[in-house]
Structure formats: structure tokens, C-alpha cells
Amino acid sequence: MIASHNVIALDRVSAEAWKNGGGVTRTLATHDGSPSQWRVSLAEITQDGPYSRFDGVVRHSLIVAGRGIVLRNGSNTVVLAPGVPAQYDGEPVWEASLVDGACQALNVMVDRNSWLARVETLAPETVAEFVPRIGSVLVVFSGDGRCEIRRAGERCMMPPRTFVTLDADASPLTCTLTSSALEDAMPCAVVVIEPLA
């Protein structure tokens, strides 16, 4: 069921400071309260420094504000560019370098043996349809726009800077970004987390 009271404003989610002092994280959703299975969060990265290591975890990041981050581990490099979803291994200790000041990132972490995740951004006035398997979870992040979501005849309009977590059922979910005012606006995104078994 889609209900407006399930839509949560980002500023209502408490921020947790990183142990290394390099930023803060707001946890948006976890698997039955267990982040070891999967977690979706919004991080504010304010300085260069190491990312925490997570064995057995696949990470996804989408830069939603700022100019991006470059992750390095030895000869391996991952570029987190604004508005472009990126997937990378959670096991290395990545050294993060901010491209041009502080950034915000929508982050997804999943247990590689149990879950598969993807992050998709929405273009304005384009209808995107999602039909994940039963047991999946969708997290819709409106960014700076207004996002309309529909499923099985139900409709909900999400205001800017909100998110909603939905359990998948047999019905397709459609999302439409109806407005996004500025070129550098925080993008609208949909996170799909599906069980492997």
C-alpha cells in the first residue's frame, strides 16, 4: 500500500557522526532493522579520509550534492561523479578524496551472498516502471523534485527532499519526476534491493 504518511522528510532523520569525524550519515532504511543484510543511507562527507571496510558487502553510491569523490585503494580507483550511480566492493579500505568540497551521497550496502541492489535516477517527466520480484524492497528518494508514484491504482505525490520505503508486491510500481527546478538539483532516485534466493 502507498500512503502519504509513509513518506518521510529527510530532515526528520537523525544524523549520526562518523567515528573518524569526516562526515555524518542518516539511515533511511535497513533490512528489518538489521543493517548487516542491507542498508540505505544519506551521507554528508566533509573531508578527505578513509571509508570504513565492510567484508562481504557490495556498495553503491550516488552523489546527490557536490562535485564528487574519488576513491583509491592501491592501483584501484572508483570515481563517484554527480548524478551517476556507481557500484564497488566494500572490502577494500578506500581512501576518499573530495573533488571540490563537501558532498552528499545516497549510499546502499548489501550482503553480496543474499541481496542484489541497483540504483536508478529519474529524468524529469519520464515514467519509470519497476517490477521487482516478491520479497524485494524499493526506496524512492525524491531529491529536489516532486515525484509521483503509482501502484495498483494507488497514487502518492512525494514532496522534495523526502523518501519512502515500499515492499514489492505483484503490481508494477511507476515513478514520475514531475519537477526539478535547477541544473544542479539533487536527483530523484529509486533503489531496488532484491533477494538472491
Helix (H, G, I), strand (E, B) or coil at 22: coil
pLDDT, position 4: 61
Distance between CA atoms of 79 and 53, rounded to whole angstroms?
18
| Fold agreement (9-111, 115-195) | yes
Question: CATH topology for 9-111?
Answer: Jelly Rolls (2.60.120)
Q: What is the pLDDT along the chain (197 residues), one digit of tens a residue?
A: 566 669 999 999 999 998 777 789 999 999 987 888 999 999 999 999 998 889 999 999 999 999 999 999 999 999 999 999 999 999 999 999 999 999 999 999 999 999 999 999 998 888 999 998 999 999 999 999 999 999 988 999 999 999 999 999 878 999 999 876 566 789 999 999 999 98
CA distances from 55 to 49, 83, 123, 125, 178 (A): 19, 26, 34, 39, 39
CATH no., domain 115-195: 2.60.120.10
Q: What's the sign of the alpha-carbon dihedral 85, 196, 170, 39? A: negative
The domains of the chain are located at 9-111, 115-195
Cβ atoms < 10 Å from Cβ of 159: 12
pLDDT at residue number 179: 74
